[in-house]
Structure 1
């Protein structure tokens, strides 16, 4: 919803990348219950962009 020239976009994009990497590492990294059973569905949404307009 921010304009393309908004100064905050750089920081937001870096934060998005770090959050994405941390989330995917939790799914595919050390397999504990939370990562293997719950985060997988959210990773699927992230990768497919399903439900995001």
Structure 2
């Protein structure tokens, strides 16, 4: 379901988080993963399931 771009964003965000102090990385990680998950799901739903697409 995830696009390759989405997977690269997630892995890159984890790389960035690993350099930060843990409280910041935890809060940022939750926010980033939520945002990425919602954007991926919304994009996937719009491209594949919206009525009248294409």
**What TM bracket, shorter-length normalisation?**
0.3 to 0.5
Query: What TM-score comes out, normalization by structure 1 length?
Result: 0.44
Q: Which has the higher contact order (CA 8 A, sep 6+)?
A: 2
As a proportion of its length, which structure holds more helix?
A: 2
TM-score normalised according to structure 2 size: 0.43
